[in-house]
C-alpha cells in the first residue's frame, strides 16, 4: 500500500511539474547560472553552491555542510552508524547510495560506459576517471613536487609521501602503511592467505600484481628491455639490476662482512650470509634434510610427494621446479645459451658445458672414490640420480609396461617414447622444413642437414660426420 502511495505521489509530482510548464507558471530561477527550480527551498540550497555558504556544522569535528542531510550522513562517520544492509553478503553502509552501488557487485550491473572504448563501469565517477586515460588529463596536482594525478584519491595518497603519514596499521605487528591496500596485502604475511592462483602451475600469491608478474614466466612476455644491449626482462627490478652491468653504478646498501659482496635488499644479504655460516634453518619434516632457503625446501618436498606442477606444453613432460622446465624448453626451442670458448660448441645447460670442457683437458674428476660409482660394473656418474637410473639395468626390473603391446621398460621416459610408435605422435618438428620426429635426438641429427654441422671427427683421416654412428662405421672401414 505504501509503495502504491509513493508511486502515485511521484506521478502527481511529475504531472504538477508538467502543468507548471504548460501554464507558463513562473519557476524559481538562479540569478547566477539561470537554472530553474519548482520550489524556493531547492533554489536556496542550490544558491549555496555559488555563495559557498555552509550553515550546517558538525558539533564533533566542526566540518560544515550546505545541506542538512549531508551533515546527517557525515555524523555517522563519528558514531559508526551504518543503517543500510546488503541482504546478499551482510555488508553495511552509511548511505543508501553506497548500498546501491555495492549491489551492482552482486548483480554484475555496469550501467555506465566509456563512449571512446566502450568499457563499462559500476559508477559514473569511475567513467569520468577512466576517460582521463584517453584524454591524458591529470587535474589533481601536487603543490610540493608538481606531480599530477587523474583522481583526487591518488593525490591524497601521494601527499602522504611528503607528510610521512601512515594511517593504516597492522593489528598483528604494528607496522603502518600509507595505503589501505598495502595493509591488506601485508596482513596476508601473517595469515598465510594467498588468494591469487596461477591456472597453469597452481602457484599462489598474496597480491594480484605478483600473479601478473608470475604469468609472464609462462607466457614468455618480457616487456622491459635494456636500451643498451636489447636484453629483455619480466620485471623492472631485473632490468634495474641488469643495467648496472653496463655502468659502474653500485647503489648497494647491504654488504657482506665476510666476502664484501653487496646486495640491494637486506633479505638477499641474510640468505647469502648463510653460505658463510652454514646455517640451514629450513628442514624437511620427512627426511630431516636442511636448507638455507625456504624455496629450496619447498622444491625438495616434491621428491617425497611426487608432485610435478610444471608441465611442458610440447611433450607433456613434468618437472618439480620452474627452473627445470625452463631448461627443458630449450631442447624444443633449440636455444643453447652456453658456448665453449675453445671450440665454439653450444649447450642448453651449464652442466653440459662443464662436462664438455673436460674433453679439452685431462681433468677427470669422476673416479670410483666419488660417491656416484656403480658397485656392479664400476661405471661412474656425475649425479646420484643418473647412478640410480643406471642400477636398474643390473636389476632387470622393468616396471613400466606398454598398455598396447605389453613391452616393458626400465625407465618411464623410454615407455613414453615407445608409446609414440602406437599413437603416431611426433612432437619434435624442424623449424626449417617442418619434418616431425618422435624423439628429440632424431630432430637434432636432422637439423644438421640444414646447418651443415658435423661435430664428430675422425682422428685418422680428419673427415667429419653428422652422427656418431657414421663416424664409427667410417672408423671400422679404415682399420679393417
Query: Is residue 348, in this structure, part of any structural domain at all?
Result: no
Per residue in 298-335, pLDDT (tens digit) is: 888 888 888 888 888 877 778 888 888 888 888 788 88
Grid coordinates given for 17: 511539474
- Would you say the C-alpha torsion 179, 181, 185, 187 has a positive or negative sign? positive
Q: Is the pLDDT of residue 274 over 70?
A: yes
32 in a domain, yes or no? yes
d(CA 206, CA 189): 8
315 lies in a domain? Answer: no
Cβ(101)–Cβ(86) below 8 Å = no
Three-state DSSP state, 305: helix
The band of 10, judged by pLDDT with boundaries at 50, 70 and 90, is very low
pLDDT digits (tens, 9 = 90+) for 366-383: 444 445 788 777 787 767
Is 390 among the domain residues? no
| 324 within domain boundaries | no
Q: How far apart are CA 27 and CA 17, in angstroms?
A: 10
Q: Which pLDDT tens digit goes with each residue over 203-245?
A: 888 898 889 888 888 888 889 999 988 888 888 888 887 887 7
Question: Residue 94 sits in a domain of what CATH number?
Answer: 3.30.160.60
Burial class (CB in 10 A: 0-12, 13-18, 19+), 443: buried
Range of the domain at 72: 27-109
Domain count, the chain: 1
Residue 97 domain-assigned? yes
Q: Kindly state whether residue 37 falls inside one of the protein's structural domains.
A: yes
Is residue 2 a part of any domain in this protein? no
Mean pLDDT of the 272-276 span: 89
- Answer whether 309's CB lies under 8 Å from 297's CB: no
Amino acid at each position: 500500500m505504501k509503495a502504491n502511495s509513493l508511486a502515485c505521489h511521484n506521478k502527481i509530482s511529475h504531472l504538477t511539474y508538467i502543468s507548471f510548464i504548460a501554464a507558463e507558471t513562473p519557476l524559481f530561477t538562479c540569478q547566477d547560472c539561470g537554472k530553474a527550480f519548482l520550489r524556493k527551498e531547492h533554489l536556496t540550497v542550490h544558491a549555496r553552491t555559488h555563495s559557498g555558504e555552509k550553515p550546517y556544522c558538525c558539533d564533533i569535528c566542526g566540518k560544515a555542510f550546505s545541506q542538512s542531510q549531508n551533515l546527517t550522513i557525515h555524523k555517522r562517520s563519528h558514531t559508526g552508524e551504518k543503517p543500510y544492509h546488503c541482504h546478499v553478503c551482510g555488508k553495511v553502509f552509511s548511505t543508501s547510495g553506497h548500498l546501491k552501488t555495492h549491489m551492482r557487485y552482486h548483480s554484475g550491473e555496469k550501467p555506465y560506459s566509456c563512449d571512446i572504448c566502450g568499457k563499462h563501469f559500476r559508477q559514473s565517477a569511475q567513467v569520468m576517471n577512466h576517460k582521463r586515460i584517453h584524454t591524458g588529463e591529470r587535474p589533481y596536482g601536487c603543490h610540493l613536487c608538481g606531480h599530477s594525478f587523474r583522481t583526487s584519491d591518488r593525490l591524497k595518497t601521494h601527499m602522504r609521501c611528503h607528510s610521512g603519514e601512515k594511517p593504516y596499521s597492522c593489528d598483528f605487528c604494528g607496522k603502518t602503511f600509507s595505503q589501505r591496500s598495502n595493509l591488506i596485502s601485508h596482513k596476508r604475511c601473517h595469515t598465510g592467505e594467498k588468494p591469487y592462483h596461477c591456472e597453469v602451475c597452481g602457484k599462489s600469491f598474496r597480491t594480484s600484481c605478483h600473479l601478473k608478474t608470475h604469468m609472464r614466466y609462462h607466457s614468455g612476455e618480457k616487456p622491459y628491455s635494456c636500451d643498451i644491449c636489447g636484453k629483455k626482462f619480466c620485471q623492472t627490478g631485473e632490468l634495474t639490476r641488469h643495467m648496472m652491468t653496463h655502468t659502474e653504478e653500485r647503489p648497494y646498501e647491504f654488504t657482506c662482512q665476510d666476502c664484501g659482496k653487496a646486495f640491494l635488499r637486506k633479505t638477499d644479504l641474510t640468505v647469502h650470509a648463510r653460505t658463510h655460516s652454514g646455517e640451514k634453518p629450513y628442514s624437511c619434516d620427512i627426511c630431516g634434510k636442511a636448507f638455507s632457503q625456504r624455496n629450496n625446501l619447498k622444491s625438495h618436498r616434491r621428491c617425497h610427494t611426487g608432485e610435478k606442477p610444471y608441465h611442458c606444453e610440447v611433450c607433456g613432460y613434468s618437472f618439480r621446479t620452474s627452473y627445470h622446465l625452463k631448461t627443458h624448453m630449450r631442447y624444443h626451442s633449440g636455444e643453447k645459451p652456453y658456448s665453449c670458448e675453445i671450440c665454439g660448441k653450444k649447450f642448453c645447460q651449464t652442466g653440459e658445458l662443464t662436462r664438455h670442457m673436460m674433453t679439452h683437458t685431462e681433468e677427470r674428476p669422476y673416479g670410483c672414490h666419488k660417491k656416484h660409482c656403480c658397485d656392479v660394473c664400476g661405471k661412474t656418474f656425475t649425479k646420484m640420480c643418473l647412478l640410480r637410473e643406471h642400477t636398474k639395468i643390473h636389476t632387470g626390473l622393468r616396471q613400466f609396461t606398454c598398455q598396447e603391446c605389453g613391452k616393458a621398460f626400465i625407465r618411464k621416459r623410454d615407455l613414453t617414447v615407445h608409446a609414440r610408435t602406437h599413437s603416431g605422435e611426433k612432437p619434435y618438428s624442424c623449424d626449417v622444413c617442418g619434418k616431425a620426429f618422435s624423439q628429440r635426438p632424431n630432430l637434432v641429427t636432422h637439423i644438421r642437414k640444414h646447418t651443415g654441422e658435423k661435430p664428430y671427427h675422425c682422428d685418422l683421416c680428419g673427415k667429419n660426420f653428422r652422427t656418431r654412428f657414421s663416424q664409427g662405421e667410417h672408423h671400422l672401414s679404415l682399420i679393417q
